[in-house]
Structure 1
Amino acid sequence: MVSAVFHSPRDIAPPVAASAERNATHSIAESADASGAKAVKHPKTAARPQRDFSALWLRVLPPVLGLALLVLVWELVSLGTKASIPSPKDTFLQAVVLFSDPFYSNGPNDQGVGWNVLSSLKRVAMGFGLAAIVGIPVGFMIGRFSFLSNMFNPLISLMRPVSPLAWLPIGLLVFKGADPAAIWTIFICSIWPMIINTAVGVQRVPQDYMNVARVLNLSEWKIVTKILFPSVLPYMLTGVRLAVGTAWLVIVAAEMLTGGVGIGFWVWDEWNNLNVKNIIIAIFVIGIVGLMLEYALIKLATAFTFEEVKS
Structure 2
Amino acid sequence: MKSPFHNTNANNRGIGWQLGASLYRVIIGYGLAVIVAVPLGLLLGQLPILRAGLNPFIQILRPISPLAWMPIALYTIKDAEECGIFVIFICSIWPILLNTSFGVSRLRKEWLDVARTLELSWAGRLWLIILPAAAPTIVTGMRVGLGIAWLAIVAAEMLVGSSGIGYFVWNQWNNLSLSNVILAVLLIGVTGMILDTAFAALQRSVSYAE
Relative contact order, higher structure (CA 8 A, sep 6+): 2
Counterpart in the other structure of 1:298 = 200
Name which of 169, 180, 184 aligns with 1:267. 169
**Mapped pair 1:133 → 2:10:** no
Counterpart in the other structure of 1:244 = 146
Name which of 94, 104, 107 aligns with 1:202. 104
Residue aligned with 1:119, SS: helix
CA RMSD of aligned residues (A): 1.1
User: Structure 1: any 5+ residue segments left out of the alignment?
Assistant: 1-97
Flag as ranges the 4+ runs of structure 1 deviating above 6 A.
Answer: none
Query: Displacement of 1:218 after TM fit?
Result: 2.5
AA matched with 2:102: V
Name which of 227, 230, 252 aligns with 2:129. 227
User: Structure 2: any 5+ residue segments left out of the alignment?
Assistant: none
Aligned residues: 210
Aligned-residue sequence identity (percent) comes to 43
Name which of 61, 65, 81 aligns with 1:163. 65
Counterpart in the other structure of 1:254 = 156
Q: Which has the larger radius of gyration?
A: 1
**Mapped pair 1:145 → 2:40:** no
Name which of 267, 284, 303 aligns with 2:186. 284
| Conservation of the 8 A alpha-carbon contact between 2:81 and 2:161 | no
**Mapped pair 1:179 → 2:81:** yes
Query: Displacement of 1:252 after TM fit?
Result: 0.6
Q: Which digits, 9 at most, give the CA deviation of each residue in 1:177-206, with x for residues without a partner?
A: 000000000000010010011011101110
Counterpart in the other structure of 2:9 = 107
Counterpart in the other structure of 1:34 = none
TM, length-normalised to structure 2: 0.97
Distance 1:215 1:147 in 2: 25
Q: Which digits, 9 at most, give the CA deviation of each residue in 1:254-281, with x for residues without a partner?
A: 0011121100000111111111111111
Q: Which digits, 9 at most, give the CA deviation of each residue in 1:126-149, with x for residues without a partner?
A: 000000000000110110111111
